[in-house]
Amino acid sequence: MSSEEAALPKEHYLSGGWDLKSWLLTTDHKRIGILYLVSITLMFALGSFYAALVRWNLLVPDGSHMSADTYNKAFTGHGVIMVFFFLIPSIPATLGNFLIPLMIGAKDLAFPRINLLSWYVYVIGGGITLYALLTGGLETGWTFYTPYSTVFAQSNVELAAVGIFVAGFSSILTGLNFIVTIHKMRAPGMTWFRMPLFVWAHYATAIIQVLGTPVIAITILLVALERIVHFGFFDPNRGGDPILFQHLFWFYSHPAVYIMILPSMGVISEIITCFSRKRIFGYSFIAMSSLAIAAIGFLVWAHHMFVTGMAVYSAMVFSALTYLVAVPSAIKTFNWTATLYRGSVQWDTPMIYVFCFIGLFLIGGLTGLFLGNLGTDVHLTDTYFVVAHFHYIMVGGAIMGYLGGLHFWWPKITGRKYVEAWGKVSSLLVFVGFNLTFFPQFVLGYLGMPRRYHVYPDEFQVLNVLSTAGATILGFGYLFPFSYLFHSIFRGQPAGNDPWHAKGLEWTTTSPPPTANFETVPVVTEEPYDYGEPPKGDGHV
């Protein structure tokens, strides 16, 4: 069963046709996952382009590289695309779609046609938003704060708002599909506590998608209506309250960050156990902490609003709840660490990304504590400290998990192995580039550099130049996986069913899997992650 003798199966989900119709009218969750993969990769490239513009401008303190308006459009485009069109769908729509039915022993998701619909909705929403960004742009920040966005902005606000509104339904439909699938489509013997933690993570994520997204949908719709019909809902001149907009906006947008991180945490749980050759420590704690993060995550949103003039007593409540939400994340981190203990660590690329995740997520999470504290937040809010904090979580955390997961399941998705050496090189570039980009921003923020400003005081230039240099390295770091993964589709060594010797139903079927996922419906009798005792010696199985 060594992978050197492996060959691609004769028939699998990709062999049944490559014409446009087989892709655009597919209801196969695996093909839909790939449709999403292509779409979000394009979006990531565009979002990165906007990031490059931002870092290019910040090379010099006087903002001479572009006008202030262009700069505003650059950071807005970066935020809108990366949040709504890359991070939110990323793992759920690609890896989640592909793997969840496989992991629970089902033939497909509960609603395959709704799955395809969700992709079309994403594409239409993305198309509308891109059109808005590219013809005239958007300069409000991805947060659309009123009354600037509703009264004063001179750009394509209503068009972008409609695009985001539409795309939100893609997220809702995906979440709905996952919830019903996980409840109703599990194979015989696959009880809740035998499910992979990746599935638990997506279940928790799906709850947030279903309950949170509609609130931003209505809110952004109101913004569009304000501009078109001039209702005055958020306009102080007409009795409207801009703070209400922020309450409604952040009610979704805070849980949204948990939509971005929970699936990544699910990936980490899967990889860390396989590459430690050890059963995961504290399975039920990790599973329950996913649900806890989803629930408590809905209670903390106003920590984005401490300096707006909201009531101090209310702010105190939100601050206390914010400290509470850190606990389940910490529980996960402790359990992962305990999994490593006495494990037999194998340093393949997915595992490298796991270590990147744990270290960088730790820094991101801990720096959140300064922001959740009412007193220190007054100093740090709206500075680069916040920017660094959330990039450590979203890039250092979520994207590392995404890259790790892509590498881990790439052989299953494509049937082929990528070149491991390139994986290691890229992960190093990404890690170094990332830290060089964002660590200086903690310092800058602490020293007082505000975010979203086109110019900055001269004494901040060195740190900004370091940051831009880091961003360049990071950019190259991302280009490498794009090329060697793509190349492996055509030239990679066939992987065989289970190249990593991992546990989990997805590894019991062929790589790539057949269209119906399994030859026969699996019956589950084992506990998850049944890696047994770690072998003595160097641990390679």
Partner 1 sequence: MSEAAHHPSLQHHFVDLEQQREAASLGMWVFIAQEVLFFGGLFASYAVYRHQYPAAFSAGSHHLSWRIGFANTLVLIGSSLTMAMAVHSAAVGKSRRAVGFLLATILLGSVFLGVKYFEYGEKIRPCFGDGPYSGCLVPGERFDASAVHLSGDEGRHSQIFFSLYFGMTGLHALHMIVGIPIILTVATLAWRGAYGPRYHTPVEMVGLYWHFVDIIWIFLFPLLYLIGAH
Partner 2 sequence: MSGHVVSWKIYLAVFAALAALTGVTVLVTGYDFGPLNLIVALGVAVTKASLVVLYFMHARYSPRLTGVVIASGLAFFVILVFLILTDYLSRPWPLTAAG
Are 135 and 156 contacting, i.e. CB atoms less than 8 angstroms apart? yes
Could you tell me the CA-to-CA distances from 178 to 239, 254, 293, 431 in Å, in that order? 42, 21, 18, 32
Q: What angle do CA 176, 29, 215 make, to 5 degrees?
A: 25
DSSP string, 345-408: ----HHHHHHHHHHHHHHHHHHHHHHHHSHHHHHHHTTBHHHHHHHHHHIIIIIIHHHHHHHHH
Distance between CA atoms of residues 108 and 169, nearest Å = 21
Give the C-alpha separation, 189 to 88, whole Å: 32
* Contact yes or no for 146/242 (Cβ under 8 A): yes
Binding partner of residue 229 among partner 1, partner 2, none, CB cut-off 5 to 8 Å per kind: partner 1
Q: Which is nearer to partner 1, 183 or 342 (CB)?
A: 183
- Shorter beta-carbon distance to partner 2: residue 275 or 306: 306
Nearest of 101, 237, 122, 137 to residue 516 by alpha carbon: 101
Q: Which stretch binds partner 1 (CB under 8 A): 143-151, 183-191, 494-502, 503-511?
A: 183-191
DSSP 302-342: GGG-TTTT--HHHHHHHHHHHHHHHHHHHHHHHHHHHHHTT
Lookup: tokens for 357: 């995740």
Region binding partner 1 by CB under 8 A among candidate stretches 223-231, 280-288, 402-410, 465-473: 223-231
> In the range 98-157, which residues lie near partner 1 by CB under 8 A?
106-112, 114
The site partner of 231 among partner 1, partner 2, none (C-beta below 5 to 8 Å per kind) is partner 1
* Closer residue to partner 1 (CB): 179 or 201: 179
Smallest gap from Cβ 219 to partner 1, in A, equals 6
For residue 416, give the H/E element and its range. strand 416-417
Per CB under 8 A, residues contacting partner 2 are 183, 207, 211, 215, 243-244, 247-248, 251, 298-299, 301-302, 310-314, 317-318
Nearer to partner 1, 240 or 423 (CB): 240
Report, in Å, the least distance between residue 311 CB and partner 2. 4
From the list 37, 116, 215, 315, which residue makes contact with partner 1 (rule: CB under 8 A)?
215
Q: How far is the CB of 318 from partner 2 (least distance, A)?
A: 8
> 């702010």: which residue's tokens?
315
Shortest spacing between CB 504 and partner 1, in angstroms: 20
Query: Is residue 225 part of the contact set for partner 1 (CB under 8 A)?
Result: yes
Nearer to partner 1, 76 or 115 (CB): 115
- 245 vs 442, beta carbon nearer partner 2: 245
User: CB under 5 to 8 A by kind: which of partner 1, partner 2, none does 60 bind?
Assistant: none
| Interface with partner 1 (CB under 8 A) | 106-112, 114, 172, 176-177, 179-180, 183-185, 210-215, 217-219, 222, 225, 229-233, 237-241, 244, 247-248, 251
